[in-house]
Structure formats: structure tokens, C-alpha cells
Structure 1
């Protein structure tokens, strides 16, 4: 049944991508983040992502749709990071597995660059945000309901065979998505839609806690502080956060609290000590190897050479030490520079967007992107999501928003419906223009 539902949708996206590459970008984003084909029986073995990506690239070349090939600072740094990963690849300690992962990472980064070329309008940007949010909310809302139903006794896991398969990774993805949901809620005018989004955000927070991820708990705390600081009505927001947080924490079982308490006693926790050992290994490897060790360095032979404890082979579980060990200090510098620039661009959106009513929505977006970046910076210190799509898509959101505001696009754009109704349905609601959602 799932195959019968997904196959026509994916085929439609491929065909439309030839004529409208921006639809291909949205389809690629949905496929890459949510991985709906992994939920089916037959489509999971087919190269559906390659088909959508190929159709989008071909559409980019043959269509006359508006394209923006201007290079901002984020695009330049991203391309330098991609070039550096190409340079370090031949120096990988384990070339074959590194090459497989390199292909995956380069495809993701290439599509981010394509996103920055074909998305330019407010409608494009809003749809792009919705696709990212719904792709993660599908798992987060479901996971939150599961956590509440089971009292948090079982862990929430991500979709299999994806970047966010592990409980720690899906937790960080959920945490980073909550501020984007808050941004969408701020743009809503309907009372019930705002309430529904509030419930969804609460379930997302429950799912993050239900993952039993200590890194996610720290990320939630960091984001809550930044979100409160960015908010207008700080007293109401503080009370709301305390009430929701207290309710969620009160239902968590004793084993959850025992695991969270190990944050203070990390020196007695085997998992935490294994991560620290892996961090030292990455540091020592980068000092001795200018180009790093390649994408795959969690190997017994490599740990025997560079780790303080050669017997404790452990993944770094840190976006920082992961990039350091794999691509050296230059790779880490480019990685940090990219997201520092993106954070700064989001800050410009937040401050400059307040200057006129037409750009207030960009101020909201910039503020919430900064909250998400804060969650990524804190939670990512303990999780391995250095190359996953969502942080790079958030960077793209900031760049597209800044470009839209700099071009004063609100003076040129004609509002378009987010949902284009069929002709017969449009005639039926001819006297009710509010039926069509507008950006």
C-alpha cells in the first residue's frame, strides 16, 4: 500500500523537476531528510534520490526559470569545504569506505548549492521550511505520542538506514526543528492552527526526551535559553516553558533520570569516557596528518596508533572532533566558519527584518534560525551529524531570506498561493479567496 502511494508522488516530482527545478529541490529535501522510501517495501532498493537529483540538475540546465548564481560568503565557504574534502579523500586511511561516504556528502552539499540557485521567492522559502519541518515532525510527533503512552520507558529511534537512525541523532534533529515550527506558528493567523502547532511542538519535545539522549537534553536547555532571550513576552514564555518542561520531565521514569545524572559524573561513565578517548584520538591524528584520516577513522588500527586508550574504539559523537579527525584543522576551520557566517546572516535577518512590516517575517525567521543553530552547536558537541542535510538547509534558509530582503522583493512579487487549487475547485470558491493559503 505504501509503495502504491509513494510511487506516483515520486514519479510526479521527477517529471515536474524537469520543468520546474525548485519542485525537484523540495522533493529531494523531503526524500533526503524524511526518507519516506525507506518506509516502503520495494522503493527502498530503487535509486529514487538519484532520479530526483538528476532530473533537478537537468531541469536547472534546460529550463528558463529564474536562477540566481550570485555567490555569497556562505556559498563560497561551502564550496571551499567541498573542495577540501575532495583534496583529503586520496589521503584517507581507509579509502573504499571513505569514498562511499564522500559520494553521499558531496551529493548533499551539491544539492544545497542548487537550492541556493533555484529558490528565490517567499513562496519558495516558506515551502522549503515546511518540507524540512514536516519531514522531521513525522517522526517527532509520533515519537512524542509513543513516549507519553509508554511513560518514557522505551527509547525513541529514527528511521533505519539514515543519518538520524540512532536515538541521539534523531533527538538532535527533533530539537533543531522545534524553533522552525515556532517560526511557522508565528506566521499563522488561525487560532486552532496555532494551538495544533503548540501541541506538535510539545510532542516533539517529549520525543527528544524519550530518546534518552543526554546531548539532546543539553541542546534543549541551550535552545530554551536563547528562545526565551529572543522572545518579546519573557514572563509568559518563561512560565509556559516551565509548565511544559515540568510536565514532560515529571513523567520520565527512574532509568531516564539515572542516565541524565551521568552528565555530572561523566568520568565514571563508559560511554562518555569512550567519546573523550575518541576526541583525543582525533586531535592526535589531525596533529600528525595535515589532511586528516578520511571519512572513516573509527578503526582499531587507527585507535592503536593515536588514542590514549587503544582498546576503546569509539565513534567521536561530536560534529567538531568528527570533522577534525576526518579532514584536519583546515576542514574544521571551514566547517566552523560556514556555520558562524550562517548564524551571523540569521542575526542580520532578525535585526534588519524589523525595519518594515513586509520583512517582519524574516526577523522571526532569523531569530528562530539562531535558536536552531544554538541547539546544533551544543547538541552537536556530543553527536555525529556533521554532514547531515538539515543544518546546511538552515544555512540556505538564512541566505535566501537575506537575498530576498536585500533585493526588496516584496515590492516586485505578486502573492502566490501556496496550494494551487484545481480549476473546478477554484470556481467553486470564487467568492471565498481566503480558501487559498497565501504567503
Structure 2
């Protein structure tokens, strides 16, 4: 039955994808983030939905008459530079080509479709659909995982869909931590009381599910995220009350083995897993020191550890977005990657600052603030997890670029002329569907 539903949804939307490439980009985003086909058991499980949707969307772009452009901003330029750089490092990778090329293909498809999304999602309505997809794609796992954790007393770990970026418990936990601010954004925009209550419950259960993953990195990311969520929230009283109620609920719901695992954060010197991560981080620095372009994709493998790691027999994945990029793409790649995060943060700051005096654009300010909270969760949790190429982060960045473009279009300056015909620029004006009106100060 699940297979039928997934096939019906994807192929039922094909006419709309052909007509409007933005729909295709959003469907691809949903498939990429949620991996709904991995929740089926029949032919849908291995069907290449993402590839089919990507081909239809790109084909629709080539033949569509809709206006489209790739904006030249610091974020978008750095995104293209990063795509070019990882392609160059792939050509000089030190791992076997068939392994490296597979990973390059997966990453470049993700980044390419993020760029396509930036190009074709240009309206406020489509951006809000994008926000809902960001929420639903991970919120479903949050609801299910939160209820499962409470029902079982936290005795079992919450896992993601097989074969996806978030299949492993730690990865799913970070993804859910990133999703909570997006859920809170929709809660801020909700006008019906039942929807606000529902989204509040979803946010709470998603945090409980993240705790139920037994991920120590997610615990640190969740703590940082909740602190920033309170700072960035419009109503600090109600947000604070929800967060204060959530903390003891999570603490009391989890069993003794969860508390024992979390307590090892303070004793990392005696924790084999933590010391293995540090060994992997030194490995990444040694590879980057030896190879200007890094080792290329999939350099974190036992054969390379025997050459570059301080402890050659203690193989671990990178367990850090920063050391993952450093080991695979060198210091140049790391600088580009960190710059993308930094410029995304500054983009959000600019949106908040620009929309401060415009009540009609409060939704954009709220989104930028919650996107920053999501980025905080990603940076803190990602410092201990190998999720540098995870779609959710890149789509949050894309959504910020799209929001900035929509805000700039709506706040285009009003133009007047003096007696000599010289052009004068007045205060910003708010563009509407029926024309342009002066913004209220």
C-alpha cells in the first residue's frame, strides 16, 4: 500500500512539475530529505524517484517560460566554488576511483539541486511550501520517534530510513535538532489554535526523539539550539515555559543506560569512541598537511588510516563536518565550507535588519531567526558528526537566499524626480500584487 501511495504522489505531480519547475524542485527536496520510498517494502524501495524528478525538473527549466535566475550573492557564489573545488579534489583523490566517484556523484547531485531550487523558487508562496517540506520531512520521524521513546521508556534507539544520510541514530538526531526551529517557525506563523498546539507537540516530541537516539552530540546540539531558540523567539515567556517543561520530561523519560552514556561527555579521555574520533581528527589534519587538495571523497578508510593516523589501527569515520571537509578537500575546502556557513548567518542577519520596520514581512524575520537557530544546532552537533553534505543544512541555506531575494523584491525603493529631472530615491516601499505602497515606519 505504501508503494502505491508513493508512486501515486510522485507521478501524479509530474504534470505540475513540467508546468512549474519550482514544484519539481520541491518534490525532489521532499524525496531527498524524507526518503519516503525507504519506508516502503516493495518496488518503491529501490526505485530512482530522485533521479526521475531531477530529470523532469531540469528539462522543465530548459523549456519553461517562467522567469528564472541564479542570484549572485556571497552564499550562491561560494556554493558554486565549493562544487567546483570538490570536483577538482575528486580528480586528485587518493582513494580508489570507483569509490570516490560514487560519493562525488551523490554530493554533486545534492548541491546541484540546491542550486536549482535557489533558481526556481522565487515566490513567497513557494518558499512557504519549502518551509512546510523542511518541517514535515523530519517532523514525521520526530512524532513517531518521540512517541516510541515515551512508550518504551527510552530503552531503544531511534533510527532513520535505511540507505539515507540519516539512517544512523546520531545523524537522525542532529537532523531532528535542526528541524525543531523550523517547526517553531511554522508555530509562530500559525493563526489557528489547534495548529499551534499541534506544532508545539511536534517540536516537543521531536526533541524527545532526538534524545532517544542516544547521541551525545545531539544532546550538546539540542542544548545550544534550545538556548538560541529562546533568545531568538518572539515570545520569550511562552517559549521559555515550553522549554522548561521539556527538559525534565526528557530527563525523567530516559532510562539509566541513557544517563550513563550522556555522562561520558565529561570523561572523554577514558571513552574509546571519543578517543577514536580524536584519532580521526588528527588523521584529517595529517592528510590535509600532506595533500593541498585533501585526500578526496572517502579518504576516511582503514587503508589510509594505516598511513596517516596517529593510531593506525583505530579506524573511525570523521565524526565532524569540519574535519570531514578538511580531510577530503584540504584547508581550501574547509575555508570555503566555513565561509558558506558564515555568509548564510550574515544573510539571515541582513533579512532581520531589513524587515525590522515592516510588519508585513515579519514572517521573513521569523524565518531568518529560526534558520539561524537551525544553523547553531548544525554547527554544534556537526562538530561531532560526519554530515557535511547532509541535504537539510544546504536547503536551509538555500531558503535564506530565497527569502533575501523575495524581501529585496518586496522592498524595492520608491523612485521620484526633482524639478531638474534628477532621480531621487525615497524610503523603501512594499511591493504588493496590486502595485507598490510606501512602507510604514
TM-score normalised by length of structure 2:
0.92
User: Cα offset for 1:140?
Assistant: 1.2
Report the counterpart of residue 419 of structure 1 in structure 2.
none
Q: Deviations over 1:176-218 (max 9, x none)?
A: 0000010001001111110111111110011000000000000
Structure 1: gaps (5+ residues): 416-439
| Match for residue 324 of structure 2 among 318, 322, 325 | 322
User: Cα offset for 1:69?
Assistant: 2.8
Q: Is the 8 A contact 1:350 1:367 kept in 2?
A: yes
Report the counterpart of residue 221 of structure 2 in structure 1.
219
Q: Deviations over 1:221-248 (max 9, x none)?
A: 1011111222344344333312211112
Report the counterpart of residue 302 of structure 2 in structure 1.
300
Distance across 2 between alignment mates of 1:236 and 1:407? 33
Q: Is the 8 A contact 1:319 1:383 kept in 2?
A: yes
Structure 2: gaps (5+ residues): 412-429, 436-441
Alignment of structure 1 residues 53-92 onto 2, 5 Å: 53-92=54-93
Q: Is the 8 A contact 1:15 1:55 kept in 2?
A: no
Higher strand share: 2
Give the root-mean-square deviation of aligned CA atoms: 1.4
Assess, with a 3 A threshold, how the Cα gap between structure 1 residues 230 and 45 changes in structure 2: closer, same or farther. closer
Assess, with a 3 A threshold, how the Cα gap between structure 1 residues 170 and 413 changes in structure 2: closer, same or farther. farther
Alignment of structure 1 residues 346-365 onto 2, 5 Å: 346-365=348-367
Alignment of structure 1 residues 262-301 onto 2, 5 Å: 262-301=264-303
Report the counterpart of residue 193 of structure 1 in structure 2.
195
Q: Deviations over 1:50-101 (max 9, x none)?
A: 1100000000010111212332111110000000011111111122111001
Q: Is the 8 A contact 1:112 1:393 kept in 2?
A: yes
| Match for residue 252 of structure 1 among 238, 251, 254 | 254
Distance across 2 between alignment mates of 1:165 and 1:327? 24
Distance across 2 between alignment mates of 1:383 and 1:121? 34
Alignment of structure 1 residues 161-180 onto 2, 5 Å: 161-180=163-182
TM-score normalised by length of structure 1:
0.92
Report the counterpart of residue 431 of structure 1 in structure 2.
none
SS in 2 for 1:43: coil
Q: Deviations over 1:395-427 (max 9, x none)?
A: 111111111111117623379xxxxxxxxxxxx
| Match for residue 344 of structure 2 among 342, 345, 354 | 342
- Say whether residues 1:411 and 2:413 are aligned partners: no
